[in-house]
């Protein structure tokens, strides 16, 4: 007989500290009432695009903070990717029923809670089994891949070779220096290809004497773009979440339209819209090498409206 021994370790996952907003008491209708009384005259009086955007962000953020304030939250526990939306809703219903039983102390509430608890546990076990089965089936012909999948189910502690690199301050310095040199390095590597890959064509078939001029952005365009915002998108450095911006789009469209038209007149893009939150995602290999991380840039949500306006007007210019 062939025996198989798996050494297990009780891995304690370190908690993750995040900065987020409190949404349980968030009421969009109450926030809309506050925005009705907002005076935007201070924004319209400013002709400098950076100062106008700073004033706009300050007004909007102050109202947002009053309805969904910021908190520092600690997330504990190991990741559970098999928990889907249906299970999360069932867990919420289960916890709500438990809170209800603690208030009422009725037997029927307790029986209903136990029924929801057992249903939630069964669904979670089934989802976890299906998730593990799918991962193993993807690498059924590869022993190395199967070993990696088993380490996901039964994780062990991987101590870095150089623990000092894991310090937050050191990491910020390492990534900052690496990504600051990334653009010049790519430019240096790509320069030999300028005569072959990116060579200017000898004959340009379509040429026009017209000159593209950026026009003023309309309020209707801003309103439609705000309406199409996805609520689950990440928040940029301006700390204005897209879901709250979407809820009050009717009240911020006019001052936002004024700010978007300032770059058209002054040919200046706000500095705040050029700053992105850089999130390094580990791909593979040693964590001591920044090249083993994939950078994810999160720009402010409103900065993309200006980009979309330029693309939309330029597309219409080409179609005319």
Position 126 scores a pLDDT of 92
- 19 forms bridges with which residues in the sheet? 72
Position 195 scores a pLDDT of 61
Distance CA 34, CA 11 (A): 48
Contact criterion met (CB below 8 Å) for 257 and 309: no
Q: At what angle do helices 249-266 and 49-67 cross, to 10 degrees?
A: 160
Mean pLDDT, range 20-28, rounded to an integer:
86
Using pLDDT thresholds of 50, 70 and 90, give the confidence band for residue 200: low
pLDDT at 167 over 60: no
**Burial grade of 199 (CB within 10 A; 0-12, 13-18, 19 or more):** exposed
Q: Is 285 left (phi over 0), alpha (psi -120 to 50) or beta?
A: left
Chain segment 189-198, per-residue pLDDT in tens: 766 666 665 5
Query: Residues of 230-259 as b/e, b for ≥16 C-beta within 10 angstroms?
Result: eeeeebbebebbbbbbbbbbebbbebbbbb
Chain segment 131-150, per-residue pLDDT in tens: 878 777 776 666 666 666 66
Give pTM, 2 decimals. Answer: 0.65
Contact criterion met (CB below 8 Å) for 67 and 31: yes
Q: Where are the domains of the chain?
A: 16-77+164-196+214-319, 85-153
Position 204 scores a pLDDT of 59
By C-alpha distance, which of 50, 29, 10 is closest to 273? Answer: 50
By C-alpha distance, which of 125, 67, 83, 104 is closest to 96? Answer: 104
């Amino acid at each position: 007989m062939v025996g198989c021994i798996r050494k297990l370790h009780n891995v304690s996952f370190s908690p993750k500290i995040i900065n987020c907003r409190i949404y349980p008491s968030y009421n969009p209708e109450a926030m809309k009432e506050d925005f009705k009384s907002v005076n935007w005259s201070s924004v319209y009086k400013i002709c400098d695009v950076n100062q106008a955007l700073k004033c706009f962000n300050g007004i909007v953020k102050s109202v947002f903070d009053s309805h969904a304030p910021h908190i520092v939250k600690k997330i504990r526990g190991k990741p559970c990717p098999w928990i889907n939306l249906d299970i999360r809703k069932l867990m919420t219903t289960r916890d709500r029923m438990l809170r209800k039983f603690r208030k009422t102390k009725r037997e029927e509430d307790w029986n209903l809670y136990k029924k929801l608890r057992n249903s939630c546990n069964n669904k979670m076990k089934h989802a976890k089994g299906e998730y593990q089965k799918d991962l193993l089936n993807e690498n059924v012909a590869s022993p190395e891949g199967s070993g990696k999948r088993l380490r996901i189910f039964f994780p062990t502690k991987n101590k870095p070779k150089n623990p000092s690199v894991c310090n937050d301050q050191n990491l910020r310095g390492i990534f900052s220096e690496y990504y600051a040199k990334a653009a010049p390095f790519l430019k240096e590597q790509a320069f030999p290809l300028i005569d072959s890959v990116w060579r200017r064509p000898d004959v340009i078939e379509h040429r026009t004497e017209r000159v593209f001029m950026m026009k003023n952005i309309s309020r209707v365009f801003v309103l439609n773009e705000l309406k199409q915002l996805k609520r689950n998108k990440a928040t940029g450095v301006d700390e204005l979440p897209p879901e709250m911006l979407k809820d009050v789009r009717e009240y911020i469209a006019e001052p936002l339209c004024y700010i978007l038209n300032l770059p058209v007149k002054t040919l200046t893009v706000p500095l705040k819209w050029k700053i992105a939150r850089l999130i390094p995602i580990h791909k593979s290999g040693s964590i001591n090498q920044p090249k083993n991380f994939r950078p994810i840039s999160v720009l402010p949500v409103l900065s993309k409206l200006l980009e979309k306006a330029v693309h939309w007007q330029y597309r219409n210019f080409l179609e005319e």
